[in-house]
Structure 1
């Protein structure tokens, strides 16, 4: 429960939404006190039910009648959706775990998305199953991964459908990513979006000594925990190290002229050189002006501020380092 409680402390909430609904909407949809067991089961499982579960409440004839009349739809060999509307992401997750069997848990990007990860969703549903369990057929669009290591602390102890905890989810997503860059991006996003923090990733890697990309995941987590949250900031940090420049601080809190807390992406504190890495959100005029105002406050105090777009960090690294080295030397860096 430690990671779950820690996540709630960091975010100020737990799972604030169920199936995309606010708590008020969710409570309004609750079945009445006189609802039977089947109604409650369908409520908790997003209107998805397995044949085995259905047989615990209905006779075979009643089940066939619901399917024949179109009230239920058979979406897999032994899984039904109990309505005839569109099937959403939450229902696809239930279909996957019910089809795969009781040992299956949501894993990787699917579990991370269920925890609230944004912008990294997958069209596939990723499941994690202990290697010793026999596999079942699963619907198309479901990918089954096997593991020999799935301790209790890596699985959500309460709530459904069962899924891996945030740090394990992100480590697995990084292992299963197509490229190293995708792996780094998802770990960085986990820190940036406050799904994980501190040594969460390190504790998972201790339990997975043969994890794919283990060193890359550990280094990315260490840098992200130190404040370099975006992939562009991680790329910039790598450039700085390869160029032999001094190690900067990341995501440093400064006060602007009005006393408000502002975060500086990168700070070479001894030489008062600031670096801002501009992502896609800087295309928004309001966001750009807010950053310009913060930059002006620093210039007024006499500090040097450099700004680089993310694409320049990746595509023109020599020019980025050349300008940074010149700024540091101008500030009396002896290198």
Structure 2
């Protein structure tokens, strides 16, 4: 089968896929299409009306491209695949990829992705040839299918910590929307607005708020009273106490043992007490952790009185 140059260029731009309408409009006959799919075995079906012009295995990107071709012009990718395109790691394996289409469009079912109509199409950006929703839209579309507060916190914190978006922008995008799990998103955004930047820090904040003696600490703020640009996870300046969560997993790059030692030696030289806490202890021994923090803050206040 001879494919016109114009169609060849279009197929290349569409990751090797073509719609039946595109092929027919370019002059490919129905018989030629049938032969390529049948005896010729040069093409394969991807979904209704969309063909792959190769016989190798289909990748997730091909299914995504097929969904965009099926839904027509104006579709924007959001959800799981959009988050992964931005480099986010804390996307649940079960999270759905969403294709957003204008409300006026005729909704078509397509495998592998969820097609959702919206009255307000988000701004999109081109990522490797795929129209992709903004980071805040992408994470919210993933959160719509999540019920774990810890997982929602991890995803939102990662998006903010990596500088892809801000709590305010996510909150603005969320607006007055109400769906299952939206309350967990708002709770997580409250933690982010307070300054928390990881799921364990949010859990530490939950723990501190249970205390009858502790006030809210400063979260990820510059250590006061020093020229050193150091930001502890949480600190009580009046007591000169900091809490650091020992977990490379939940931080953007993770600290080496040596870097952690140098930082804690600096705290000691400046007269600050460090209370190290692991995410596991936060989950498994919360009462003991809270007592340790309360005792450290009480001792610090007594020293500075």
Structure-1-length-normalised TM-score? 0.75
Specify the SS of the correspondent of 2:82: helix
Q: Which runs of 5+ in 2 are unaligned?
A: none
In structure 2, which of residues 222, 229, 232 is the aligned counterpart of residue 264 of structure 1? Answer: 232
Distance in 2, matches of 1:302 and 1:287, equals 23
Shift of 1:280: 4.8
In structure 2, which of residues 85, 107, 131 is the aligned counterpart of residue 135 of structure 1? Answer: 107
Q: Which runs of 5+ in 1 are unaligned?
A: 1-34
Matched residue pairs, number?
A: 292
Distance 1:325 1:102, change over 3 A: same
In structure 1, which of residues 292, 311, 318 is the aligned counterpart of residue 261 of structure 2? Answer: 292
In structure 2, which of residues 242, 260, 270 is the aligned counterpart of residue 274 of structure 1? Answer: 242
Distance 1:225 1:92, change over 3 A: farther
Whether 1:109 and 2:80 are equivalent positions in the alignment is: yes
Distance in 1, matches of 2:167 and 2:147, equals 26
In structure 2, which of residues 27, 35, 60 is the aligned counterpart of residue 89 of structure 1? Answer: 60
Whether 1:66 and 2:36 are equivalent positions in the alignment is: yes
Distance in 2, matches of 1:278 and 1:303, equals 17
User: Which residue in the other structure is 2:9 paired with?
Assistant: 40
Partners of 1:205 and 1:211 within 8 A in 2: no
Partners of 1:187 and 1:220 within 8 A in 2: yes
Structure-2-length-normalised TM-score? 0.82
Distance 1:213 1:281, change over 3 A: closer
What does the per-residue CA deviation read over 1:199-233, in whole Å, with 9 as the maximum and x for residues that have no partner?
11121122x43344334323312322443111111
User: Which residue in the other structure is 1:16 paired with?
Assistant: none
Distance in 2, matches of 1:219 and 1:170, equals 15
Distance in 2, matches of 1:330 and 1:222, equals 30
User: Which residue in the other structure is 1:161 paired with?
Assistant: 130
Question: Max radius of gyration: which structure?
Answer: 2
